[in-house]
Amino acid sequence: MSRKIMLITALAFIAGVGTAQAQAPQPSAPAAPLPGYGTSISVADAKKAAAAAIAEVGKIGSLPDAIAIVDPGGYLVYFERMQDAHLGSVQFAIDKARSAVLFRRPTKVFEDALAGGRTAILALHGAVPIEGGVLIISGGKIAGAIGASGGTAPQDGQVAQAGADAVKQ
């Protein structure tokens, strides 16, 4: 009888392992390659991006924003703070732009990951997990990034995107 029990147990175990392996999740498709770094955005284009971002603030009725444009190394190229923008937004706009360019992705990616429970995002030095940092692409390469801060996170994202779109080539 004990042999019968051992045989049944062994068969059940093998069947269970086979089922578990059959239900293992399939690896997801590889992510699209990130754009490479290119030539830095010019001051003239940075001013054009900031002007478009500021115009977007007025269109959507956001609170006044601070707008920062950085080069591919994360260094400030142009900055503008609207009248009455929060003083705390100054550094935050710069940090959002720097985060986007250094990690080659919009800061919304980090916000979404954190909202999905990926708390490890908080360990990435320089990553800002709040929407409002967007890449500026020129010729398929990263020319810099724009950061907006002062409104809600979705408003900042919309403002930054408007600035990036104004100089996208």
Greatest CA separation for the chain: 87
CA distance 108 to 152: 13
Give the pLDDT of residue 32.
78
- Both tokens assigned to 96: 């959002």
Chain segment 42-80, per-residue pLDDT in tens? 999 999 999 999 999 999 999 999 999 999 999 999 999
Looking at residue 122, the DSSP 8-state letter turns out to be G
Condensed to tens digits (0 to 9), the pLDDT of residues 130-158 reads 999 999 999 999 999 999 999 999 999 99
Gap between the Cα atoms of 66 and 53, Å rounded: 10
Query: What is the number of alpha carbons within 13 Å of residue 53 lying toward its C-beta?
Result: 39
d(CA 78, CA 87): 17
Instruction: Specify the pTM.
Output: 0.81
